[in-house]
Amino acid sequence: MPALLADIERFAVSARRVVGRGRARFLDPEDDDQRRIARSLLIDLSAAADRLPESFRAAHPDVDWRGIRAVRNFIAHDYDGTDEEILWQALAVQFPLVTAALGAADGT
């Protein structure tokens, strides 16, 4: 399980880098690289969260585990129709909340 938490933290570092590049670059209609990175990171987060033991997830009800999976399913099945604002909010707001809760769980 420590490896999964380390993976999630690594994804968080990448998410912070994308957010740090700014919302304007993220929403640039001529360059979708940042949005594609966001989709990948959110899917990776969901995959790692799914591999965490159920007992760990149950012990951390402050993390919206169902929401993580829902965002992943939405992105995976409706990638052309994914609202870019939802992606931004997931990356800029929700991702840090998840990693903060898991960091506290990890003792960091």
Query: Looking at residues 85-106, what average pLDDT do you find?
Result: 83
Distance CA(28)–CA(87), nearest Å, equals 14
Other C-beta atoms closer than 10 Å to the C-beta of 65 total: 18
The number of CA neighbours under 13 Å toward the Cβ of 74 is 14
Structure confidence at residue 86 (pLDDT):
85
Tens-digit pLDDT profile for residues 2-57 = 899 999 999 999 999 999 999 999 999 999 999 999 999 999 999 999 999 999 99
The structural domain count of the chain equals 1
Structure confidence at residue 51 (pLDDT):
94
Structure confidence at residue 108 (pLDDT):
45
3-state secondary structure of 28: coil
Tens-digit pLDDT profile for residues 57-92 = 999 998 999 989 888 888 877 756 668 888 899 999
Specify the pTM.
0.86
Residue 23 belongs to domain spanning: 2-106
Considering the chain, what is the average pLDDT of its residues?
88
